[in-house]
Amino acid sequence: MSEEKKTIITKVARQIFSKYGFLKTTVEDIAKAARIGKASIYHYFRSKEDLFESVVEQEYQLLITKIEEEVNKENDPKNKIIVYVISRMKYLNELANVYSALKDEYLEHYAFTEKIRERYFHKEMETLRAILKEGVERDIFKIVDINLTTFTILTALKGLEYPWVANITAPEMEENLEKLLEILFNGIAKR
């Protein structure tokens, strides 16, 4: 029963944090929405920050799982990168709390956000590096430095997250990502 209650609290908290953000959400808001007392929340979570961390961790795991599921459906490394980039942006847009933890500067002073950001970045580096390495081994990609290429692609994607997620509809995002991927695969130099 206690794990079930903790799951309910986390589920409700995820919805409330997504709607109002970390700063504007109170433990009382979550307790009311979950139809429980604040004391019940504090029984399972030390603080609002602890609860938010739990919510972000769950979303983070969901994001990684969804991306990996999409990538694993593909056999060709080029298609894997396309699916990786598109699904990453799509699911990141759907998971408001993870996105908030990754981008909101006001959350930077919370130690857990830095741990999550770092772990997420390393996991993404591993996933993308494996795809690029497979492409090199299968003679599909010509890459001199896989680590640098991985870092560069991931940095470019991170730089595009906010403007694309905040200002662009899903169809526009896919179209823009396809253009970005065309530049990635074909370059800009005239041949």
The CATH number of whichever domain residue 176 belongs to comes to 1.10.357.10
Please check whether residue 162 is in contact with residue 103, taking contact to mean a CB–CB distance below 8 angstroms.
Answer: yes
- What would the mean pLDDT of 139-147 be, rounded to a whole number? 94
> Which tens digits make up the pLDDT trace of 150-159?
999 988 887 7
Q: Is the pLDDT of residue 103 over 70?
A: no
| 27 closest CA partner among 55, 2, 3, 1 | 55
Report how many domains make up the chain.
2
Angle separating helix axes 77-94 and 146-167, nearest 10 degrees: 40
118 shares a domain with 34: no
Q: Is the pLDDT of residue 2 over 70?
A: yes
Please check whether residue 122 is in contact with residue 147, taking contact to mean a CB–CB distance below 8 angstroms.
Answer: no
Grouping H, G, I as helix, E, B as strand and the rest as coil, residue 25 is coil
77 shares a domain with 41: no
The fraction of the chain above a pLDDT of 70, given in percent, is 84
Residue-number span of the structural domain to which 30 is assigned: 1-45
> Which tens digits make up the pLDDT trace of 66-83?
999 999 999 999 999 999
Residue 183 CA to residue 170 CA, distance in Å, equals 20
8 shares a domain with 39: yes
Please check whether residue 162 is in contact with residue 188, taking contact to mean a CB–CB distance below 8 angstroms.
Answer: no
The fraction of the chain above a pLDDT of 90, given in percent, is 39
147 shares a domain with 182: yes
> Which tens digits make up the pLDDT trace of 24-58?
889 999 999 999 999 999 999 999 989 988 888 88
- Return the residue matching tokens 């993404």: 124
85 shares a domain with 7: no
Count how many Cα atoms sit within 13 Å of the Cα of residue 44 in the half-sphere of its side chain: 23
**What is the CB neighbour count within 10 angstroms for residue 95?**
21
- pTM greater than 0.75: yes
163 shares a domain with 105: yes
Instruction: Note the pLDDT of residue 27.
Output: 94
Q: Is the pLDDT of residue 146 over 80?
A: yes
135 shares a domain with 57: yes
Answer yes or no: is 95 within a domain: yes
Answer yes or no: is 191 within a domain: no
Grouping H, G, I as helix, E, B as strand and the rest as coil, residue 37 is coil
**Which of the 8 DSSP states describes residue 109?**
T
**Which of the 8 DSSP states describes residue 73?**
T
User: Which of residues 40 and 188 earns the better pLDDT score?
Assistant: 40
